[in-house]
Amino acid sequence: MATLKISTPCRRHLLSSRHLSSSATSPWYAAPPPAHHHRQDPILTTLSHAVKNAPSKSLDTSLKNLIPSLTPQHIVDLINHNPLSLPPLSLLSFFTWLSSRPPFRHTLQSYAAMAHSLSAHQMDSQAHDLIKFVVNRKGKNSVSSVFAAILENRDWGDLEEGFRLKRVMEESNVSPDVFSYSVLINGLYKDGRLDDANQLFDEMCERGLAPNDVTFTTLINGHCRSGRIGLAMEIYQQMLSKGVKPDLITYNTLINGLCKSGELGDARKLVNEMTRKGFKPDKITFTTIIDGFCKEGDLDSALEIRKEMAKEGVELDNVAFTALISGLCREGQIIDAEMALREMLRVGMRPDDSTFTMVIDGFCKKGDVKMGFKLLKEMQSDGHIPGVVTYNVLMNGLCKQGQMKNANMLLDAMLNVGVDPDDITYNILLEGHSKHGSPEDFEKLQGEKGLVLDYASYSSLLCSSDKTSKDRYKR
């Protein structure tokens, strides 16, 4: 049986652990920490005190009755939570001692927790020994499992720690595999370090590792997210040339990237290509293309895609309905937009505030403010609480028609339900009163000058009001 032997670090090296600076800037107010109502695991407490008192009382004596009931999870919790802030050297000594006390056996998770703790405290030599021991014991094919298990015991927000772990593994003569590289490449893309991700991909290939579909899709997704659709398509072609088969996720990622770049024709071609290769477009595929066509103003093509969805038995989701409604409103087809909204409600979907507001705005722009208010009531009946944007849309509709009395009543209604007017509200009212209101009402609104979006808009409305007043005086 292999014996776990790990070198002991000098005390000076342990002083390199990270400390918080007392000079860090504090916020002007810090909420009190939440109260902890859960009870400490008694086994964890016993273990912590036994390790702390080990210099004066042997572990064999302290834990004689506890060892038969110990599990690897207890050790993982001790290392990760460390309630008594035990030095890493003490934890390592206990970890090594326990490995030779049957019937206890460490698992990959407990080894990973210890390796992560050593790496985090910059005890690289000890981390090397431990990782080398685990890989030798589990076999070379265990590299992915070891890397994944260690990552589970670290804060993924600290990407540099992942590369530190990679270096520790390499110095232990354990070469990272495709999975390990894929995890790091994905982390780099999420962190916006695209060039570093590309370099790591090249390093992986230079080491003779063949990227798999996950690695390629990670690269493609990163380029698509950063707007580099040309590079994403190059990676896709490279993927095909290496005989790696794309899956539906890969195709949907590329189609989304093409649609966001406005290359709808290429997106359609890719859909046809994936269909020829036996992949059936799913709801995500169709919704992505509908949204793309609607944003490009090609409503006819979006409606064609909807027909294809119906033919394939794929139902529209909230995103697809919202995209269609937005496109219909943009093209002035407000009746069709309302029908789509009604269909959403009929099939049990709940349009959000912005979807209702788009349709209300469409009717108001067509001069049908009455229908706008009808939809407002339906919106409220459906449990929505309209915000200032919805009220501004209705306010604008009323002011455009010169219904200043109703606009003032709507303002009161807003205030009564706790919706605060914003600068846009006052601009709408100011313009309405300057063109259709009485001089007295306009003079009253002049006092709200500080709430107007900018002084230029205020001045232009003021000039308009002066002209209107002069015309009235002439008459």
Residues 401-418, mean pLDDT to the nearest whole number: 90
Query: CA geometry: angle at 279 spanning 276 and 281, to 5°?
Result: 105
Residues 217-232, mean pLDDT to the nearest whole number: 90
Q: Is the pLDDT of residue 24 over 80?
A: no
- Return the DSSP state at 247: -
Q: What would the pLDDT profile of 82-135 be if each residue is shown by its tens digit?
A: 888 899 899 999 999 998 998 899 988 888 788 878 877 778 788 878 877 887
What residue spans define the domains of the chain?
A: 69-176, 177-280
- Return the DSSP state at 78: H
Least confident of 5-14, 136-145, 310-319: 5-14
Give me the pLDDT at residue 437, please: 64
- Answer yes or no: CATH 2.70.98.30 is held by domain 177-280: no
Residues 247-275, mean pLDDT to the nearest whole number: 93
In angstroms, rounded to a whole number, what is the distance separating the alpha carbons of residues 465 and 467? 5
Q: Is the pLDDT of residue 18 over 60?
A: no
What's the mean pLDDT when you consider all of the chain? Answer: 80
Least confident of 32-41, 371-380, 449-458: 449-458
Rg, Å, the chain Cα set = 33
Q: Which two tokens stand for residue 235?
A: 């990676």
Q: Is the pLDDT of residue 165 over 90?
A: no
Q: Is the pLDDT of residue 474 over 50?
A: no
Going by C-alpha positions, the residue among 186, 181, 33, 14 that lies closest to residue 88 is: 14
Q: Is the pLDDT of residue 147 over 80?
A: no
pTM: 0.60
Q: What would the pLDDT profile of 362-409 be if each residue is shown by its tens digit?
A: 999 999 999 999 999 999 988 899 999 999 999 999 999 999 889 989
112 to 22, 155, 265: CA distances (angstroms) = 32, 14, 49
Residues 460-469, mean pLDDT to the nearest whole number: 44
Which position has the token pair 């697809």? Answer: 320
Give me the pLDDT at residue 166, please: 80
SS3 of residue 177 by DSSP: coil
